Amino acid sequence: MVTDITNGVKVSVRTSYQPRYSYPENSSYYFSYTITIENLSVYTVQLLRRHWFIYDSNSTIRQVEGEGVVGLQPILNPGDLYEYTSGCNLSTEIGKMWGTYLVQRQADGEHFLVNIPAFTLIATHRLN
């Protein structure tokens, strides 16, 4: 698990290779990742947008940007946790993802970016 804290918002990531949904013969490798967002600050915050960089080990970088996460824009009071699971397809057995969340502090409306730490995606058979 990798973790980063930005302005009192902690982001932790766990990954898992999904062989059942992967098709190596077609260069299609599916990974799931679970993100835990924890509000360690004294302010209520809302996650508004995400911006992902997805790197395949063949040097291809894709970007994904949009509102919220898994269709939601969660509000986190101080001490709250929000967790979601999503997935990513790669054309190689090894890759990496990282990015940012755009977050708004509810008290004054200030927007700030929260780092999503870089994490590696590795097909488990590559670890042997």
Mind listing the pLDDT tens digit for each residue in 24-39? Answer: 999 999 999 999 999 9
Q: Is the per-residue pLDDT at 126 higher than 90?
A: no
pLDDT digits (tens, 9 = 90+) for 75-85: 999 999 999 99
Q: d(Cα 81, Cα 60) in Å, to the nearest integer?
A: 33
Q: Are 17 and 123 in contact (CB under 8 A)?
A: yes
Q: Which residues pair with 97 in a beta bridge?
A: 54, 119
Determine the pLDDT at residue 125.
Answer: 75
Q: How many folded domains does the chain comprise?
A: 1
pLDDT of 45 strictly over 70:
yes
pTM score of the predicted model:
0.94
For residue 90, the domain's CATH number is 2.60.40.1470
- State the residue range of the domain holding 114: 2-127
pLDDT value at position 128?
63
